Structure 1
Amino acid sequence: MTDRDGPLTELVAPYADVLNADLAELDAGSVFSRAKWQAIKDSGILRTPFKEEHGGSGRSFTETMKVLEGLGYHSRDAGVSFSTSTQIVSLATPLEKFGSAGLKARYLPRILSGEAITAHAITEESGGSDAMNITTVAVREDDHYVVDGGKMFITNAPVADLFLLYVRTGKPGPFGLTCLLVERDTPGLEIGEPLDKLGLRTSPLGRLTFDRLRVPVTNRVGAEGGGFLVLDYVMKREILYAFSITLGEMRHRLDTVIRFATERTQFGQPIASYQAVSHKIVEMRIAVETAAKWLADTGAKAERGEDISLDLASTKIVVSEANVKTALDAVQIHGGRGVLTSHGIERDLRNSVAGTIYSGSSEIQRNRMAALLGL
């Protein structure tokens, strides 16, 4: 990273050796490393955007984005980085904003320290990105909610200690959703085995099943029927935080490609001297800086409290698709080395694909933009 970003992007730099250890083996085995999670905890990154009164570092929206960009740059373990952003947004973020004083006092210290790993359970197998039509139902019985149904594709689920469930307590639509905080060992909650996947393999993914899961009303985060407000608040941060990490990864990829292209020789000269290669690297640089500008501008608007509905969808499309394109370019420029697992270039490509799908696919984002434009 450059000096222009100052200490924010360097927060995790002292932990890079731990975060980058045994990548090929852990990726191949889809292993979530507790040693790496300890490094994340020790770095203090999980405290970044939260108020000091709750044990946080008190960083602003855009400062947090810079810290996470630094994580993406210094850590080659994209799975652990993704689990880190999920930890920040899934429960601590809505809990600090919408939770009761009792819930904050009970859970925030454990979450911000990283002692308790968290996940948010939104997606359902039949619904995908259709969060407004969640079918998991919670019925009020005296001082408890009784939850039946299931969730799918839940990041951190296999290792999580705490979950925020998005459930339906009212009619279909945005104002029938409610958020409930649930501990891992609560009777009626079944956590499935980790799901094998293409990329981000060190970030565990799983399914949840609820069979008359009883959750105290006091564990509700926000008002009954207020789940859409919670979701909207969280998703702004989920997208901007997660893709700030992506930006850091793209910057590192560009640096790696430039270094390789200037050192690697073919036919007696560096491959960077060939226009076919140099133009591809230039396009990579344009993609990285375009992504950076979208993230910076959208983050600044969010920090000012402006409407970012169109900007957020645009930002996710631009950054996620640029990530795939630059990863493909990196493989092509590295040639035979690009497809070898020992070099890690192909791992970047596999990790990049999920970004066009999670947090609302590129197609969903374009649909939202079309609707917002009155089309």
Structure 2
Amino acid sequence: MDFALTAAQLERYEAVLDETRDRLADDAASAADKWKTAAALGLTGLCIPAEYGGGGLGAFDTALTLAAFGRGCPDTGLVFGVSAHLLAGAVAIRDFGAERLRRELLPGLAAGELVAANAITEDEAGSDTSRLAVTAHRDHDAYVINGEKSFVSNGPAADVLVTYATTAPDGGFLGISAFAVPAGHTGIHLGDPLAKMGLAGCQAGRVGFQDCRVSEDYLLGGEGQGSAIFAHAMTWERACLFATYIGMMDDQLERCVAHARRRRQFGRPIARFQAVSHRIATMKQRLESARLLMYRACWLIDQGAGEQTAAAALSKVAVSEAAVANSLDAIQIFGAQGYLVAGGVERYLRDSVPARLFSGTTEIQRDIIAREMGL
């Protein structure tokens, strides 16, 4: 596998980076306006097929573009929200929705006119998604959904909910089905935004279903295929969404190097002290190791290779753990300045901590890796 970027890939990366820095640097802009700007840059439809108005990109090029977005945008929550909309939402509809459903939803999702949210987490179903309390029972040519999802990224602003419900209570993983439900359906309640530690640019909230009647046309795949659909979407998300953090760490490292060269103590730049230079060298090592694992996972997805699930898990662990470790190091390098909100360094840590939790915790990823090794 050759990860040398082509001229076209480099050009796209630089264009997105420049446009993001130019148009999304204003922290005073509203979340809605930032979303519209991201949509205008084509970021809400990167891997949606061109026939539905998207960019038609594969996993590798999608990740590269999200890395540029993550590097240039100071609102990592916005980048996360767009990525979740695309990878956990649109990918499931793209690959498992009937043609009529794809034509109904994908153009709006690609244009950013519709916001997608992935609704699976429940109060008693976080890592264990085989026992969902939300149910969907068939009633003639429709399903009636009841229950509540506890933590839905993009939930308060969602137009489309990719949701998972139990259709066969004794079926375990084979008893889960997936639906793409327009949020305007009767019986859906979108909760208020939850207060979070970081990723403030992506609202998250509870979503309730009360006798929500959904046509069978909104079923993704076949009944009982929900677990497989979720696993497929998560492979894309674990590989591509975490490119956001690769871009964030590129920006972070650039700032640390500049600060170490500029900041003087005891008559010389702090970069001249081995304790500082070695810390920055370790940050670079973590970043580049994580980048290569991310590249490999995305390449395997594009190749349709069987080992893509484990590769995405390896990438997710490496990127998320590196993001947290590098963010702690960045605060140490900046000292008191790094602890102040005004400096913008501490936000890297706040936005990185949840990376070890969402899309499956670090511990779950290691379970996946071990299972794929036959352990």
Pair 1:59-2:57 in alignment: yes
Q: CA deviation at 1:273?
A: 0.4
Contact persistence 2:155–2:204 (CA under 8 A): yes
Q: CA deviation at 1:42?
A: 0.8
Could you list the per-position Cα deviations for residues 145-166 of structure 1 after superposition, in whole angstroms to 9, with x for gaps in the alignment?
A: 1111111111000011111111
Alignment partner of 2:19 out of 14, 20, 30: 14
Q: CA deviation at 1:50?
A: 2.1
Q: CA deviation at 1:208?
A: 0.9
Give the equivalent residue in structure 2 for 1:126. 124
Deviating runs (4+, > 6 A) in structure 1? none
Q: CA deviation at 1:3?
A: 9.7
Q: CA deviation at 1:308?
A: 2.0
The count of corresponding residues between Structure 1 and Structure 2 is: 367
Pair 1:363-2:368 in alignment: no
Distance 1:370 1:7 in 2: 38
Distance 1:208 1:353 in 2: 24
Task: Between 125-134 and 272-281, report the one with greater CA deviation.
Answer: 125-134
Pair 1:49-2:47 in alignment: yes
Task: Between 177-186 and 283-292, report the one with greater CA deviation.
Answer: 177-186
Give the equivalent residue in structure 2 for 1:251. 250
* Cα RMSD (Å): 1.6
Q: Calculate percent identity across the aligned residue pairs.
A: 34
Contact persistence 1:48–1:58 (CA under 8 A): yes
Distance 1:118 1:229, change over 3 A: same
Distance 2:43 2:14 in 1: 11
Instruction: Note the residue ranges of structure 2 that are not aligned, 5 or more in a row.
Output: none
Give the equivalent residue in structure 2 for 1:344. 344
Distance 1:107 1:242 in 2: 21
Instruction: Note the residue ranges of structure 1 that are not aligned, 5 or more in a row.
Output: 27-31
Give the equivalent residue in structure 2 for 1:36. 34
Contact persistence 1:124–1:151 (CA under 8 A): yes
Secondary structure of the structure 2 residue equivalent to 1:133: coil
Task: Between 172-181 and 282-291, report the one with greater CA deviation.
Answer: 172-181
Secondary structure of the structure 2 residue equivalent to 1:194: coil
Give the equivalent residue in structure 1 for 2:291. 292
Could you list the per-position Cα deviations for residues 250-281 of structure 1 after superposition, in whole angstroms to 9, with x for gaps in the alignment?
A: 11111110011001111111110001000000
Give the equivalent residue in structure 1 for 2:314. 314
Secondary structure of the structure 2 residue equivalent to 1:20: coil
Distance 2:357 2:88 in 1: 18
Secondary structure of the structure 2 residue equivalent to 1:132: coil
Distance 2:285 2:334 in 1: 19
Contact persistence 1:137–1:167 (CA under 8 A): yes
Give the equivalent residue in structure 1 for 2:91. 93
Secondary structure of the structure 2 residue equivalent to 1:179: strand
Secondary structure of the structure 1 residue equivalent to 2:353: helix
Distance 1:156 1:59 in 2: 23
Give the equivalent residue in structure 1 for 2:268. 269
Give the equivalent residue in structure 2 for 1:29. none
Secondary structure of the structure 1 residue equivalent to 2:242: helix
Distance 1:367 1:93 in 2: 24
Distance 1:219 1:374 in 2: 36
Taking structure 2 as the reference length, what is the TM-score of the superposition?
A: 0.94
